[in-house]
Structure 1
Amino acid sequence: MSSLYLITGFLGAGKTTFLKNMVRCFPGRKLALIVNEFGREGVDGALLSKLGVAMTEIDNGSIFCSCRLDQFESALAGTLAQGPDVILVEASGLADPTSVRKVLDQPARFPGLVYAGAICLVDAGQFHKVFATTRVCALQLAVSDLVLINKTDLAAPEAVARVRAEVLAQRPGCQVHETTFGQLEASWLSALSAPPARTSAAVPHVKDITLQKFTLVLDEILSAAALESLLSLFAGDTYRIKGFAPLAEGLFLVDCVGPQIQLTPWPGMAPNPGRLSVLFGNGQNARRSVQAAIDRRSGLHIE
């Protein structure tokens, strides 16, 4: 038997860091990862590659959307054939996972698979912004069996309390815990019972048209300070900017959540260096802000 856990959460909630911590909760057991990213650059796979766990990556779309569903089902069947004890699936931050039970409830295709439940991470500081502007945020909560309010160190206690109240309003009776740096306790997992999700069959499984993306291509080698200055011109108009950048000081992981910009030195190789995925929503001036930055400085362009 293989137990499958689904990890969801909007862009920047801390899913990848959480997944690194979650792997440690299964000592001595054979694990497998299926990692899904909405963009084409495959950043999360590179971040998780050093865990020493068998991993399959599915990029450029949500695994629960018709455009990637066949690929996910094939990847899951292939993973099951390897006989893992635990399968961890990290869904794209833009995923609508309301069809998860229908997808997994195929015993003929996925023999021995046990769905252990969905864990949703929410960013304590960004939750109200994304919940108000994106359809998928509510849908991710709707199928959750455990919700972790992450990054509580970056939000005031009263703000965290408001997030908890809103989460419980959306998912009454759900197990909710507060954490930082994606940490979790094994007892939280053992309490999962995976009750049926409170979603209506009438909810359509369609693309969230409020979400848009483009790729920002760096055409020249900048310094870390210059790139940070450049990103500060438009990061606040986006949900997420993520990718690897070859800079004068070396290769860096670029990870921005709204206006929060983080550049981290990256040892070794990385996929698609110099290509940053930019995710934003309707009403955000991301393209306009990026174009204004390009007009001020050559050496980058939008794809």
Structure 2
Amino acid sequence: MSTGIDIVLLAGFLGAGKTTVLNELIRLFHDRKLGMLVNDFGEVPVDGSLLKNENPELLEEGHKIYEIGNGSIFCSCLKAPFLYGLKYFEKEKPDLLFIEASGLSDPSSMNKILKEHHLDDQFSIKHVVTLIDPIRYKALITVLEVIGRQISSADQILINKVDLISQKDLEELIHDLKLRSSAPFQTGSFGQFDYSFIDDETTQVMDEDRESCNTPESRPGSLFLEGTLESEQVLKDFMGRVESGIYRLKGFLELEGKTFYVSDNTKGYSMTETAKPGIKPGLTVLCPLGNEKNIARLWREIQGASL
């Protein structure tokens, strides 16, 4: 039996579907007191607002959301905010604490952090669940160390978006994952998986001495694009010019008097009309280091063209 507050850590590369999965977990475990620590890489956290919009009853029913932006919680640059978040939930005492790590987070050092700060009696890492984006996996697994770390740390692997790939590509992906991890895996789409493992009595055992590969030096480029656009066509033109040079883009934009959640995906981008998010509208972009100025320039150009 585990002791302390049970943690289910959601890892996975940018755009793999962690927020969609978290929404599903909230729905399934709604009868318990839940805590959600949401870690967004951009300076303006987006995922917390999405959760509140998708689950308006969350705060009314006593569930708690704690947001941390501007980096990875496993990097030394965000260690203090992460500890403040854990202390907050230590007082709130949820039955289950879901931690949605940013897409570039390496969870390897989670257990080490708890032990070093004497929180291992208060919290227990029950599961590390890693989501896989099968579209981007092949291109990024060999160039981004963090993806391999997310896989090797997991005790459950969820391959999302399988509706977007062929059976042959899926078989090749599964073969590669089996070489990297002995964790059980599931395949699914839109965050639909069998989550009965959450209630397993087993507790994830993690290396107590492993250091995270998240460091200030390993941070990718990051910028926040403010302003309004005249129409969706202008946004489409912008995305067509930058999508090959970014890791992730998401945020809220006001177009033609309406508010939309905008997110890049593996085949273009999506727009979903939503309530006003309560945060500054704009787009958070993560990109290879050094590409920020080029993206900012294109954004200014596209805004000027829409005026």
Task: Bin the TM-score by the shorter chain.
Answer: 0.7 to 0.9
Deviates more, 1:87-96 or 1:25-34: 25-34
Q: What is the root-mean-square deviation of aligned Cα atoms in Å? A: 2.6
Q: Spell out the pairing of 1:210-289 with structure 2 (5 A cutoff).
A: 211-218=220-227, 220-257=228-265, 259-273=267-281, 275-281=282-288, 287-288=293-294
Contact 2:250 2:264 in 1 (8 A): yes
Using the TM superposition, give the Cα deviation of residue 240 of structure 1 relative to its aligned residue in structure 2, in angstroms: 0.8
**Do the aligned partners of residues 205 and 126 (structure 1) sit closer, same or farther apart at CA in structure 2, a change above 3 Å counting?**
closer
The two structures have a TM-score, normalised by structure 2, of 0.87
Match of 1:26 among 29, 49, 57: 29
Equivalent residue number for residue 81 of structure 2: 71
Q: Is 1:40 the counterpart of 2:50 in the alignment? A: no
The two structures have a TM-score, normalised by structure 1, of 0.88
Match of 1:206 among 204, 210, 215: 215
**Do the aligned partners of residues 205 and 289 (structure 1) sit closer, same or farther apart at CA in structure 2, a change above 3 Å counting?**
closer
**Do the aligned partners of residues 208 and 160 (structure 1) sit closer, same or farther apart at CA in structure 2, a change above 3 Å counting?**
farther
**Separation in structure 2 between the aligned mates of residue 203 and residue 62 of structure 1, nearest angstrom:** 10
Using the TM superposition, give the Cα deviation of residue 268 of structure 1 relative to its aligned residue in structure 2, in angstroms: 3.0
Contact 1:134 1:210 in 2 (8 A): no
**Structure 2 portions without partners, runs of 5+:** none
Contact 2:13 2:131 in 1 (8 A): yes
Following TM superposition, the consecutive aligned residue runs of length 4 or more in structure 1 with deviations greater than 6 angstroms are: none
Higher relative contact order at CA 8 Å, sep ≥6: structure 1 or structure 2?
Answer: 2
Deviates more, 1:202-211 or 1:70-79: 202-211
Match of 1:95 among 99, 105, 126: 105
Aligned residues: 296
**Do the aligned partners of residues 75 and 225 (structure 1) sit closer, same or farther apart at CA in structure 2, a change above 3 Å counting?**
same
* SS class of match (1:28): coil
**Do the aligned partners of residues 118 and 256 (structure 1) sit closer, same or farther apart at CA in structure 2, a change above 3 Å counting?**
same
**Do the aligned partners of residues 155 and 35 (structure 1) sit closer, same or farther apart at CA in structure 2, a change above 3 Å counting?**
same
Contact 1:22 1:184 in 2 (8 A): no
Equivalent residue number for residue 185 of structure 1: 194
Using the TM superposition, give the Cα deviation of residue 3 of structure 1 relative to its aligned residue in structure 2, in angstroms: 0.9
Q: Is 1:11 the counterpart of 2:39 in the alignment? A: no
- Structure number with the higher helix fraction is 2
Using the TM superposition, give the Cα deviation of residue 292 of structure 1 relative to its aligned residue in structure 2, in angstroms: 4.7
Amino acid aligned to 1:162? E
* SS class of match (2:218): coil
Q: Is 1:291 the counterpart of 2:297 in the alignment? A: yes
